[in-house]
Chains A and B, each alone.
Chain A
């Protein structure tokens, strides 16, 4: 990509990432949540791939790390659901709820949002890498057959 795209990307990628984190952490009091914030954060990494090529993005977050983060998100969500069994019911919100409309409120909802954000963000980025950047090894494997 051209110099203009690279400069603008360097400025905006961190802002997009920060906005995604904001959307995730405020998911229980404003519109948004784990899925929307995860998509925004995945888009910030996709932005990096589009501007600098896949090496620059994979240097920050390689495929094994993406796979591990995605699995971690699923396990974390499952663990939060199991945590409710301590109170007797699956998915029970056992943490203190706090005051309504405050950032530290609503118990396990924030943790659920963070787990969903890990799963969705890593999953979308993995889909994009697999579709756009990982095609050469697949062709080689096809040739060997």
Chain B
């Protein structure tokens, strides 16, 4: 149980970074931490104590394997996270070219 609470703390660290920091790069890092916390939580849900890796092999009998379903799901989640991260970095690069700063307090022309 405590390991899930540690996951929640990691998520909260990412959320704090996303909400409080003013630098756009730090916000992106915070969003990445949140995403990894959620991924870790799903992987831990499928974990089994003393479990084996869920790979069919010649010498390995199918006993006490960890749940492979969250792992397949999280692989897709990692790919989507990569796409979102690339989009955010591209937008940040364009903003930096236009305003020459990463500080959202100084990017004022976005306000109406």
Residue of A nearest to B79 (CB): A35
User: Are B55 and A30 interface neighbours, CB within 8 A?
Assistant: yes
Measured between C-beta atoms, what is the minimum distance from A19 to chain B in Å? 19
Question: B58's contact among A101, A127, A130, A131, by CB below 8 Å, is which?
Answer: A101
Complex interface residues of chain A between 85 and 121 (CB less than 8 A to chain B): 100-101
Kindly list chain B residues whose C-beta atoms are within 8 Å of the C-beta of A138.
94, 97
Q: Is B29 in the interface zone, CB < 8 Å from A?
A: no
Determine the main DSSP class of B at the interface with A.
helix
In the complex, what distance in Å separates the CA atom of A127 from the CA atom of B57? 36
Q: Is B89 in the interface zone, CB < 8 Å from A?
A: yes
The 0/1 profile, CB within 8 Å of B marked 1, for residues 1-44 of chain A is 00000000000000000000000000000110001000000000
In the complex, what distance in Å separates the CA atom of A140 from the CA atom of B58? 59
User: Are B97 and A142 interface neighbours, CB within 8 A?
Assistant: yes
Complex interface residues of chain B between 71 and 112 (CB less than 8 A to chain A): 75, 79, 82, 86, 89-90, 93-94, 97-98
Number of interface residues of A (CB under 8 A): 13
User: Are A127 and B55 interface neighbours, CB within 8 A?
Assistant: no
Kindly list chain A residues whose C-beta atoms are within 8 Å of the C-beta of B79.
35
User: Are B75 and A35 interface neighbours, CB within 8 A?
Assistant: yes
Measured between C-beta atoms, what is the minimum distance from B81 to chain A in Å? 13
User: Are B97 and A131 interface neighbours, CB within 8 A?
Assistant: no
User: Are B55 and A135 interface neighbours, CB within 8 A?
Assistant: no
Return 14 A-B CB contacts under 8 Å, by A number: A35-B75, A35-B79, A100-B56, A101-B57, A124-B82, A127-B86, A131-B86, A131-B89, A135-B93, A135-B97, A138-B94, A138-B97, A139-B97, A142-B97
